[in-house]
Structure 1
């Protein structure tokens, strides 16, 4: 427990939060902060007293978005056009580059700092989501709420396994896989929240094109030219639609294909070369470089991790079956 507000704010800033001013904190301030990294994610668990805080925009570091998950207490958060009243399990998306205001009872919460590029969320969508309550008791929001809390608790508990050059390499790959699951659930929860609102015409067309791309990722001929023709627009118009988005059309196709490869390599028995070819990567060397650059680890390390975990699980089951037979 930290009994000094200045020390608490320094640790909060070191964890990646923008500067906050607590207008209610007095001599009896008591707070707790714990920070853990999980792959590209940073999870910050906080216990705070009754607070009224304001935070200035921190435009210097726009790499991350923040997903705050309430565990105990109630908080009102104002940011952008949003004004969210959060209770236990609820969550909200925040942008550290924008001013924010909190008004909270004594509370416990977990904040997940997520690299913007990992969520593939468009600037216009961020504007619509910032400061909006997401129900943490039902639907995908409930899964995010539970997983964020569990990840914050167990992020440092990854096991060792054989088949890697070192235990640290295995733990790194396992952490990256777990982080990918958290990120995917967050993306689903945000998309569900967006579904409650009517998109603008350009956004509607972008979403339609994104769905078209998603359905044809295995087509080796998928290209901006073909996509534009299928939607009766020019290639210039297509690129214009995506000019303010995190990824260009070509980069979106490449990224989603890599993510499909990662998902298939995680749960399947096919070789890296076969999976890469299935999703449009005919050059195995080029695919390996792209995969490592995108995810921070190699495709072969992911396959090795999956096989090691499968072998370990089968061995454990066989031993359990043997113990059961011995008891009988």
Structure 2
């Protein structure tokens, strides 16, 4: 399991909750003045996942205010960027006589070396704010810190392209943190740093500043996400995947060969896994097997049956019967 620190305010007396939360924030991240109108009976669920040198911290809490002052910067500066992603509620940022507000799934950057006033607030009658942040050492990014600093206070939509890929990756890591091993932390650090650098480079319109290895890793992640999104399309082939990403077919094959895989092999495994999942779902028992096969890119039932048996050792019909029977017994 990844190294993780968890704070649940409900485990403490009401009078101590906010003070402990404030201490955790200042100790885990850059020292900050933390205040809230709800301090008397504060409610918060705060996690910190250690992924190598970076930290990912999802939080659900009452509205709260973070102030990074000149005095605090002089006392201690971890020299890091903080990328924030509100999920429910808004982030309101003030700096240098400027203000900005960031909506759900709108990424934005703050800098531990700069003075700022950040408020995490609720909207539409909600009582809790939900969001997550990533603390990244400036030295870890393969981009000049001076260029990245230009993004301070700028909203970055997290709903499409490489930005959406990064947001989805964050959400998946947070949701599945228990399934990772401690050694996975360093690997996830590499993945997230590459994605963050790609997001910054895209917004700065300066992809040339990324080193080749970061380009390749980010491109491979984008291609994997593209494959998952288009598994239902029977026209999903190595050639169509290469064309969608404006690369040559030979370059696409080299990217996957570097990981000991093939493009066609990955497509087939992903399709079979989706079909296997649907066959095991009792709610889909009435759906014909050939319909499920076609749904996941196998228009020929015989081809699907042969591929499924090769992958899982049993014909799809037998697998469905065994899986749904097991599920029914579990319910009983």
TM-score range normalised by the length of the shorter chain = 0.5 to 0.7
Residues 119, 187 of structure 1: 8 Å contact kept:
yes
Counterpart in 2 of 1:64? 80
Counterpart in 1 of 2:66? 53
Secondary structure of the 1:27 match is: helix
Counterpart in 1 of 2:201? 191
Quick one: distance in 2 between partners of 1:153 and 1:111? Answer: 14
1:144 equivalent to 2:166? Answer: yes
Quick one: distance in 2 between partners of 1:260 and 1:136? Answer: 19
TM-score by length of 2: 0.56
Identify if the C-alpha distance between structure 1 residues 127 and 179 changes in structure 2 by more than 3 Å, giving closer, same or farther: closer
Quick one: distance in 1 between partners of 2:33 and 2:195? Answer: 28
Residue ranges of structure 2 left out of the alignment (5+ in a row): 1-7, 123-127, 222-256, 274-307, 321-332
How is 1:170-209 mapped onto 2 (pairs within 5 angstroms)? Answer: 171-172=182-183, 174-195=184-205
Quick one: distance in 2 between partners of 1:260 and 1:107? Answer: 35
How is 1:300-315 mapped onto 2 (pairs within 5 angstroms)? Answer: none
Residues 79, 113 of structure 2: 8 Å contact kept:
no
Secondary structure of the 2:66 match is: strand
1:41 equivalent to 2:63? Answer: no
CA RMSD of aligned residues (A): 3.7
1:126 equivalent to 2:141? Answer: no
Residue ranges of structure 1 left out of the alignment (5+ in a row): 159-167, 196-206, 215-255, 267-302
Quick one: distance in 2 between partners of 1:122 and 1:68? Answer: 20
Which piece of structure 1 moves more, 84-93 or 119-128?
A: 119-128
Secondary structure of the 2:78 match is: coil
Secondary structure of the 1:191 match is: helix
Q: What do residues 28-75 of structure 1 show as CA deviations (whole Å, max 9, x unaligned)?
A: 221221111123321111112123432224352334211111111112
Structure 1 runs (4+) greater than 4 angstroms displaced: 257-264, 316-319, 325-328
How is 1:1-328 mapped onto 2 (pairs within 5 angstroms)? Answer: 1-2=8-9, 3=14, 4-56=17-69, 57-59=72-74, 60-79=76-95, 83-103=99-119, 104-105=121-122, 106-158=128-180, 171-172=182-183, 174-195=184-205, 211=208, 256=211, 318-322=310-314, 324=316
Quick one: distance in 2 between partners of 1:261 and 1:55? Answer: 36
Identify if the C-alpha distance between structure 1 residues 306 and 29 changes in structure 2 by more than 3 Å, giving closer, same or farther: farther
Quick one: distance in 2 between partners of 1:93 and 1:72? Answer: 18
Quick one: distance in 1 between partners of 2:166 and 2:213? Answer: 23
Residues 35, 44 of structure 1: 8 Å contact kept:
yes
Quick one: distance in 2 between partners of 1:194 and 1:184? Answer: 15
Counterpart in 2 of 1:288? none
Identify if the C-alpha distance between structure 1 residues 182 and 261 changes in structure 2 by more than 3 Å, giving closer, same or farther: closer
Quick one: distance in 1 between partners of 2:44 and 2:193? Answer: 28
